[in-house]
Amino acid sequence: MKVFILVDMEGISGVCLEEHTSAGTPQYEQARRWMTADVNAAVQGALDAGASEVVVLDGHGANSLYNLVYEELHEGAEYILGSPRGWYLTGLDSSFHCMLMVGMHAMAGTPRAVLEHTWSTARWHRCRLNGRETGEIGLMAAFAGSLGVPVTLVTGDQAACDEARQFLGDKVALACVKQGLGRYSAKMLPPRHARAEIRAQASQAVALADAATPFKVETPVSIEVDYIRNSHTDAIPTGPGVELIGPRTIRYTAPTVPEACYLIR
Ligand SMILES: [Zn+2]
């Protein structure tokens, strides 16, 4: 049983400040240790449930995609770190039985959601996948789904877990480690409880892998991104599959989700 783990930072236990997720601050140096501990808990949970191979992808865009603390990593997995490395889900292919998402956040605009955004806080206002308002959980689940891999765990705040349930149905295990009070505040589980919950739900997730169905969307695929400023769309060359459909909106169309994602600027 091969298990792929995608890790982001905003939904890690203990994280709620912008400084936690931005390299070069003392808070970031703390938060990357928490991220490593949450990942280690998920790896252990996957191994508890019989995973034979675990690959972890560091997917948070700070510090050149190298946020995990190398010397503290669990010995039962391998880790994809650093950049550039192509697209977001480097290393995932259809030989994996399931993908677990650790440290996720809700889509841009979600109320009481810790560090909510979709893709880029600085450039993206919101995003629709085939006309449906979608955040990173839905986009990445659809990407994995196009390779035939179901997402069976999401960890993060309550809002991220609710979003995962809406998009992925009941065959996904959830580990809620904090309740957002606002974008920069949350009621948190203490670290040991958070990690025990992640470990338990990661086990559950691996057990669900056979029963879960990959998240598939209709093809061809359209991804519409509303950017924040006209200057953001001004900077994007249009062409095949890349259309300006409003002053701040670009529509990307392609035969599959990964191909549509590759077009995104
Ligand atoms: Zn992130």
- pLDDT for 125 equals 96
* CA 115 to ligand 1 center in whole angstroms: 9
* CA 14 to ligand 1 center in whole angstroms: 14
* CA 75 to ligand 1 center in whole angstroms: 24
* CA 15 to ligand 1 center in whole angstroms: 11
In one letter, which amino acid is 17?
L
pLDDT, tens digit (0-9, with 9 covering 90-100), for 196-206: 999 999 999 99
Q: Is 90 exceeded by the pLDDT of residue 152?
A: yes
* CA 117 to ligand 1 center in whole angstroms: 9
Residue 246, class by beta-carbon neighbours within 10 Å (0-12 exposed, 13-18 middle, 19+ buried)? exposed
pTM of the model: 0.97
* CA 20 to ligand 1 center in whole angstroms: 10
Domain range 2-123+135-208, its CATH number among 3.40.50.720, 1.10.10.10, 3.40.50.10780, 3.30.460.10? 3.40.50.10780
Q: What is the mean pLDDT of residues 233-245?
A: 95
CATH 3.40.50.10780: which residues of the chain? Answer: 2-123+135-208
- Integer Cα distance of 83 and 197 in angstroms: 31
- The whole-chain average pLDDT of the chain stands at 97
- pLDDT for 137 equals 98
* CA 118 to ligand 1 center in whole angstroms: 9
* CA 123 to ligand 1 center in whole angstroms: 14
pLDDT, tens digit (0-9, with 9 covering 90-100), for 70-92: 999 999 999 999 999 877 799 99
Q: Shortest CA distance to 255 belongs to which of 204, 221, 206?
A: 221
* CA 61 to ligand 1 center in whole angstroms: 6
**131 falls in which pLDDT band (50, 70, 90)?**
very high
* CA 206 to ligand 1 center in whole angstroms: 24
- Integer Cα distance of 262 and 167 in angstroms: 22
- Residue 153 tokens, joined: 């765990």
* CA 59 to ligand 1 center in whole angstroms: 7
* CA 63 to ligand 1 center in whole angstroms: 11
